[in-house]
Structure 1
Amino acid sequence: MTQAILFDVFGTCVDWRSGIVRAVAREFPLLDAERIADEWRARYDPSMAPIRDGTRGYAPLDQLHRENLRAVLSRHGAECNDLDHLASAWERLDPWPDTLAGLRAMRCHHLIAPCSNASIALMIRLSRHAGLEWDCILGAEIARSYKPDPSVYEASCAALGFAPNEVTFVAAHNGDLEAARRCGMRTAYLCRPAEHGPAQTSDLAPTGPWDHVADDMRSLAAMLRPDG
């Protein structure tokens, strides 16, 4: 039986792309803000790889965001007047329309928390901005690694005092769910076909044997009700 529900956040709970595009457009009105945002996001996973494989010590996502942004702007010959402020746009993202009601419904019956690659500081600020109400903040920083490293999922379950099979992990990304499933967690796929914009080609449908599949957070909340 599910005792707690953990969530991927970027893309699953919040619309990262729209927020990042807006922030880039405000700073650089003459540049292609969508291209900058997509290139910035494309460096996300590669920048974590050396930390996962042990060739670089742990660095919080806030730092990686700044490093990646600096590299992208350099490629475009652009200079930012306040790099730190633009990099912190990841703290000012809006929730998907169904997120808040869905989280409130799930929190009535379960402990809920993020299991995100965000640092604790980033997640606190993002959650206050977006209105995400968690019971605690879990994820990469407590494991000193990044998903899909198994230690991130395992440390988050352990912090709650539950075995992995007592925890459901929710994500819009099949790869994230597969990593959680291998750790013994229950899984729920939440479809977010617009996460990467109109040209999205990945994660348009579930590709694994997930325990639950839902089109929105409120439907998933109904599926996860103890009496559901």
Structure 2
Amino acid sequence: MTHTNIKAVFFDFMGTCLDWHSGTIKALPQTISESERIEVTLEKTLDALLEKRPVHKRLFDEKTKERCIAAWHSMPAWPDVARAIGQLKSAGYEVFVHANGTTRLQLDLCKSSGLSFNMLFSSQLLGVYKPAPESYREVLRLVNVKPGETVLVAAHAYDTRGAKEAGMKTVYIQRWTDDLNEDMEVVKGENDFFLEDMTNLAAVIKQL
């Protein structure tokens, strides 16, 4: 068992645990250059982007659009994640997903990634989106833990800032796909730990 003040570890999902880039790029038409395909994946609304790029619009029939949307429900985990979660469970921590999105999406992503958690907390289930303070407070209430007994692991600075505001510990995981406009020197100073991957996550959390 672990010898630490931390009882529960909450994970952001998309980007932090899941490689959304690989999962979505493979669903897009391969005749579009990779740089342009990456841009497509970053747009919130596919149709809106295609209106701006009419030259590609003919490539996106209904089946292709459906495949692109479905790709968000089937993402691989980053290679360091499964082992880190296993180590945390073996050490006696409870591990949870705390992420925006629907519960169905989270269930599908667990299936596609092979990752397993004690519980999945979606914004749909909680009725509030991160980084609203109410989101963190509600999930802590449901798990019945104090803020100081918890840590949020995320690859998004807005998320760790929200968790800090709620009194949680934070571990920032730097992923090349996310937070491209954040000053990483600032982010390093905001969090309890700043890691390039989850290889040593269990050891780091033991120090909190």
TM-score bin (small chain)? 0.7 to 0.9
The aligned counterpart of 1:222 is 203
How far off its partner does 1:163 sit?
Answer: 2.1
- Name the SS of the counterpart of 1:137 in structure 2: strand
What is the TM-score with the length of structure 2 in the denominator? Answer: 0.84
Deviation at 1:19, TM superposition (A): 1.7
Aligned twin of 1:100: 82
Asked if the contact 1:21–1:34 (Cα under 8 Å) also holds between the matched residues in 2, the reply is no
The one-letter code of the counterpart of 2:76 is: D
Match of 2:22 among 4, 18, 21: 18
Query: What residue is the counterpart of 1:71 in the other structure?
Result: 48
Per the TM alignment, residue 23 of structure 1 is displaced from its structure 2 partner at its CA by: 1.2
Q: What is the aligned-residue RMSD (CA, Å)?
A: 2.3
Query: Aligned partners of 1:123 and 1:70: how far apart in 2?
Result: 24
For residues 50-199 of structure 1, the aligned pairs below 5 Å read 68-77=45-54, 78=57, 79-82=60-63, 83-108=65-90, 109-192=92-175, 194-196=176-178
Does the 8 Å CA contact 1:8/1:115 hold for their aligned counterparts? yes
Amino acid of the structure 2 residue aligned with 1:32: S
How far does residue 225 in structure 1 lie from its aligned partner after superposition? 3.3
Q: How many Å separate the matches in 1 of 2:38 and 2:100?
A: 18
Q: Residue by residue, what CA displacement relative to the aligned partner does 1:182-225 show, whole Å, maximum 9, x if unpaired?
A: 01111111122x2259xx45364534332222222130111223
In the superposition, relative to structure 1, how do residues 81 and 107 fare at CA in structure 2: closer, same or farther (>3 Å)?
same
Alignment of 1:41 with 2:42, yes or no, is: yes
Unaligned runs of 5+ in 1: 44-67
SS of equivalent to 1:126: helix
Distance 2:71 2:86 in 1: 25
Larger radius of gyration: 2
- Note closer, same or farther for the CA distance 1:155–1:34 as it changes in structure 2 (3 Å cut): farther
Q: For residues 136-176 of structure 1, give each alpha carbon's deviation from its aligned partner in whole angstroms, at most 9, with x where no partner exists.
A: 10131122232212222222212211122221001112221
Identity, % of aligned pairs? Answer: 25
| CA drift at 1:13 | 0.7
Q: Is residue 16–residue 173 contact of structure 2 (8 Å, CA) maintained in 1?
A: yes
> What one-letter code is carried by the residue in structure 2 that aligns with 1:211?
D
Please give the alpha-carbon distance, in whole angstroms, between the structure 2 residues aligned to 1:135 and 1:104: 12
1:27-64 Cα offsets, whole Å, 9 max, x none, are x2322354344344243xxxxxxxxxxxxxxxxxxxxx
State the alpha-carbon separation in 2 of the partners of residues 207 and 80 from structure 1: 44
The answer (yes or no) to whether the contact 1:148–1:176 under 8 Å persists in 2 is yes
Equivalents in 2 of 1:203, 1:157: separation in Å?
29
Instruction: Determine the C-alpha separation between the residues in 2 that align with 1:81 and 1:33.
Output: 21
Q: What residue is the counterpart of 1:30 in the other structure?
A: 31
